Structure 1
């Protein structure tokens, strides 16, 4: 087993062919899935708005560094698909963006003296 890296993955998608029951369930919980709830977690955090057009899920994925960002994105998208299907929500056009937290460069402003 190689070195483990921690990735932050945002999976974005579009709601598609939502049933009346699915739409009602999402709208009933919309306040719990707004901008204030955006955080990266291993199980994923779902965010969307009342328009029910687009959504995003934020994941923390830990995997072998040699597998790279592409694998972290694929793992997160798979988790997203599973979660959305289990809840009965229609979706399409999943895409992910990945940040490797172990190689991310932090630019600090020089202190003023």
Structure 2
């Protein structure tokens, strides 16, 4: 069986942050800048509190079957909740979006490479 790669984004909004929590997040903002966003196994958090209170975690996971994306999404949501809870950050409107890269359409360069190889 082939391994499938899943990219999962868990989005939400910080809620009820104290002044101290806001200052903490602002101090850590450079490492959570959206320009450095990446899909990682442990999850990468990005946000810009100066613009809005929304955040996005990006996770990379794997599975063998198409149905494994549901478990991968649940793991990603649990990891995001745990990260927020460990720091005491309130949140709301948590939602996720997952993509099975084996099902993603090929880009122009990928199609050209596939046609050349064949």
Structure 2 equivalent of residue 58 of structure 1: 58
Q: TM-score, normalised by structure 2?
A: 0.81
Structure 2 equivalent of residue 25 of structure 1: 24
Q: TM-score, normalised by structure 1?
A: 0.84
After superposition, the C-alpha distances for 1:74-100 in whole angstroms (9 at most, x for unaligned) are 211111001111122111111111110
- Identify, as 1 or 2, the structure richer in helix: 2
Structure 1 stretches of at least 4 aligned residues deviating more than 6 Å after TM superposition: none
Structure 2 equivalent of residue 15 of structure 1: 14
Structure 2 unaligned spans of 5+: 113-118
The alignment yields a C-alpha RMSD, in angstroms, of 2.0
Write the distance in 1 (CA, Å) between the matches of 2:84 and 2:69. Answer: 22
Write the distance in 1 (CA, Å) between the matches of 2:43 and 2:92. Answer: 18
After superposition, the C-alpha distances for 1:12-33 in whole angstroms (9 at most, x for unaligned) are 0000111222111101111221
Structure 1 unaligned spans of 5+: none
Write the distance in 2 (CA, Å) between the matches of 1:66 and 1:35. Answer: 29
Structure 1 equivalent of residue 37 of structure 2: 38
The total of aligned residue pairs comes to: 110
